[in-house]
Amino acid sequence: MTNETPDIADLTLDELRLALAPAIADAAIFDGWGDEALVMAAEQMGADVDVARLAFKGGAIEMVFAWIEAVDVAMAAAFPEDVIASMKIRERIRSLVQFRLDAVAGQEEALRRALSIMAMPQNAAKSARRGWQTADLMWRLAGDTATDYNHYTKRAILASIYGATLAVFVDDTSEGKAETRAFLDRRIEGVMKFEKVKAKWLNPEGESFSVTRFLGRLRYPAR
């Protein structure tokens, strides 16, 4: 049995997207997320340009999403269960986000352009779903098994933290991205404190919590 890398001509369109995405991102630093970057990446990787265009028939947003997915795949490979099991939950989340930042270091201009594309009105909903998928993957890699509303709040909060951190990252010129690291640490520290407070608030001494009752009290406070 061999572990030879398959010839790029033998890849499916989904596989080709992931294979080309990092090279497209490199080209996007100078050419933006468009046909020029796609052609440059295809030629660099030895892929048929027409097939590459077919793989990204959705245009720039598909290129950006493929880049995100490629980082997702690399992140999952870098954090198998035996590696992450020895970390505390805080360190798991911080390490997962930091891995993603390190993976795109040097490609800040491509990232800035990608964020602009994702923020376009026609792409906003799809981009939110894509961000949710990445946040979900990070929580699953971190060992989260929540199935109640915590499942959703954790992912929404992490997606928000990650998005805010990226915004700092693209403009961070400090040594070793120190400002970004400090920003991320502060946000994660805030979430950890919130989780502790929330746990006590939702279940003080085993009491049950009713979201409906709580919201009702906010609207109609007791006199």
- Over residues 138-186, the pLDDT tens digits come to 999 999 888 787 888 889 999 999 999 999 999 999 999 999 999 999 9
Instruction: Report if residue 194 sits inside a domain.
Output: yes
Confidence of residue 1 (pLDDT cuts 50, 70, 90): very low
Do 110 and 188 fall into the same domain?
yes
Domain count, the chain: 2
Do 94 and 204 fall into the same domain?
yes
Q: Which residues contact 161 (CB under 8 A, 6 or more apart)?
A: 97, 184, 187, 188, 191
- Dihedral of CA atoms 108, 88, 152, 111 in degrees, nearest 10, equals 0
Do 148 and 183 fall into the same domain?
yes
pTM of the model: 0.84
Instruction: Report if residue 64 sits inside a domain.
Output: no
- Over residues 79-129, the pLDDT tens digits come to 999 999 999 989 999 999 999 999 999 999 999 999 999 999 999 999 999
C-alpha angle 135-154-168 in degrees, rounded to nearest 5: 55
Exposure b/e, 12-43, CB count within 10 A at least 16 = b: eeeebbbbbbbbbbbbbbebbbeeebbbbbbe
Amino acid at 19: A
The range of the structural domain enclosing residue 15 comes to: 1-57
